[in-house]
A = this chain, B = another copy of it.
């Protein structure tokens, strides 16, 4: 939930009536000069106070020796003094009552432990005074609408609807530079630097509430409070698209640091899952982020995925059609009436089916007519307008026509791809000014359309309802606490069975026998073949001590196996307290799958589903999703694996179909368990044996690792 105080303090940050630049400099090329010059050049209409004890005047403004001598508290202080002086300046800000400061100076957490300590001290000083900080080690902020350029990131971009936060100042400067060249506007740009105080979470919340921001974009290297960030993103992305670049996740070192079962869920996968769940669109490059942001900022969302392509040549139309299919969109099937109307006006050789080809000598009026017809067709959700510059092509007039048609489009998006460079340069400008997203290639245009369709699907998806099963929480709590009290982290098989049963899983029938004779009697009751397992709280890995014997088909086999275990295992593990041998039913006849969970340190419980054995280990056919799972999400997880196809296909092979609802329920129960017990770090139920519809799946074995939460 938003903290109204945070929102108010960021409102103050972005809307100051006065700015002091502490460490302002007369020397061009110094950061302290550049920031002051940027403020002035940007046209900021509030008060600007340079502060520097060694100057009387800078850039025509009276200069103050210190903050106090200004005589009133600036709304915003930009701090560019050398590192040793920063703490003193922050204290002065606190004293005079300034409520927002940007620390541009570097050399803190990013360079040394001493710097990190200093950064923490500065933060404490600020927090005590209710002073909010951007940085340190940042470029500053830009608010084009307020003509506020409190940064050294270059000139202000145009005002617009994109809110941007960046963990790399240098990247932000490049993005703003590109945006200026392409006429893309921003509501706010924030270089977050070390994020000592204000970070991505708070900015996300703020942009979520900010009326000037309709698209949220950012570049992140680390996410500070992943869990909260995802929850906020999930909420905000229902109304505003969130576009993120996330870097720094493939480093060999970082991968190596992931846990044992990190073999399955790498860092990259965690981010993919988390972003997907939160409705965040992950962008693989600045260019892609631009391409998507422009489309989302300037055009309405398509209601579906049926795209009409209009071009004045065959090749680019074909490329677009290829790309549409590759991106999971569809080439709209034009209505007969649309084609009839096109036939009346277009030359004979023109292609009236989608992609529409108006031919190379088409003038702007013909293009406009065809575009209008395509857009009006009820079978069309979005239009891609392609133009190649032929000798007679009226590039500029066609661009104007596209802008005109788009104005009448009433809710359907148009994106453009005018191919070439010099010959379409002016046309591209016309498109940009007319808020038509223009792309260099059909593929990029189609990629943007895909994202628009995806955002639309995301907005319209039903509310998440997580089913809660009646369970025995108390029982699980006891088991976990007992395990932790003993200083252990792995839950024994005996206890794991109890946990599974407490959450409604069916486990194999079985009883612990104390003698060979008793074991054989139990086996008679259970029915052959049976499995024998050594039963000791001290032996976690039974197979290591030959403590599991399968496929025992008769009394004599059971008695032999019992006696051999009781004779041999105490020699191998004299320390172990052996309680007997478990005689267990052999579970057969179903398909063996794998349900798992691995708690991600940033985002929480990551659920996993796959087929047992080779399908998971070698083929990596695993689906991931964050818990808690809804029924739909559980079914989506199943459906996204190849394993699912195998399970479904059992019917074709003459075996009855696997009960997929029962399987999905298993995932939901596990999801509830790991959500309710944050102590569970890692859990695998394997094999989880699912039979045909109407039968209960059986959780044969489980490994659970716990830790103090």
Do B250 and A152 have beta carbons less than 8 Å apart? no
Question: How far apart are the CA atoms of A245 and B106 in the complex, in Å?
Answer: 47
Contacts of A219 in B (CB 8 A): 315
Interface residue? A557 (CB, 8 A): no
Known: A173-B420, A178-B420. Is A29-B392 also a contact (CB below 8 A)?
yes
Scan A429-448; emit 1 where CB is below 8 A from any B CB, else 0: 00000000000111110000
Interface residue ranges of A471-487 to B (CB < 8 Å) = none
Question: How far apart are the CA atoms of A219 and B442 in the complex, in Å?
Answer: 14
Interface residue ranges of A631-648 to B (CB < 8 Å) = 642, 645-646
Question: How far apart are the CA atoms of A468 and B169 in the complex, in Å?
Answer: 62
User: Pick the contact of A321 from B166, B251, B441, B646 — CB < 8 Å?
Assistant: B251
Do A248 and B318 have beta carbons less than 8 Å apart? yes
Do B173 and A421 have beta carbons less than 8 Å apart? no
Scan A227-255; emit 1 where CB is below 8 A from any B CB, else 0: 00000000000000000010111111000
Stretch at the interface among A281-289, A534-542, A563-571: A281-289
Interface residue? A259 (CB, 8 A): no
Contacts of A284 in B (CB 8 A): 443
Do B170 and A29 have beta carbons less than 8 Å apart? no
Do A321 and B250 have beta carbons less than 8 Å apart? yes
Nearest-neighbour CB distance to chain B for A247, whole angstroms, equals: 5
Contacts of A277 in B (CB 8 A): none
The interface size bin for chain A is 35 or more
Scan A600-641; emit 1 where CB is below 8 A from any B CB, else 0: 000000000000001000110100000000000000000000
Contacts of A106 in B (CB 8 A): 349
Do B182 and A421 have beta carbons less than 8 Å apart? yes
Known: A173-B420, A423-B154. Is A316-B168 also a contact (CB below 8 A)?
yes
Question: How far apart are the CA atoms of A107 and B350 in the complex, in Å?
Answer: 11
Contacts of A321 in B (CB 8 A): 248, 250-251
Do B248 and A322 have beta carbons less than 8 Å apart? yes
Question: How far apart are the CA atoms of A221 and B321 in the complex, in Å?
Answer: 13
Interface residue ranges of A203-238 to B (CB < 8 Å) = 219, 221
Nearest-neighbour CB distance to chain B for A684, whole angstroms, equals: 19
Contacts of A325 in B (CB 8 A): 250-252
Interface residue? A388 (CB, 8 A): yes
Interface residue? A171 (CB, 8 A): yes
Interface residue? A656 (CB, 8 A): no
Scan A41-53; emit 1 where CB is below 8 A from any B CB, else 0: 0000000000000
Do A170 and B391 have beta carbons less than 8 Å apart? no
Interface residue? A177 (CB, 8 A): yes
Given contacts A154-B420, A154-B423, A181-B421, 20 further A-B contacts (CB under 8 A): A30-B392, A31-B361, A107-B349, A152-B390, A168-B314, A168-B316, A170-B313, A170-B315, A171-B315, A174-B316, A177-B419, A219-B315, A248-B318, A248-B322, A251-B321, A285-B443, A286-B440, A286-B441, A287-B441, A619-B642
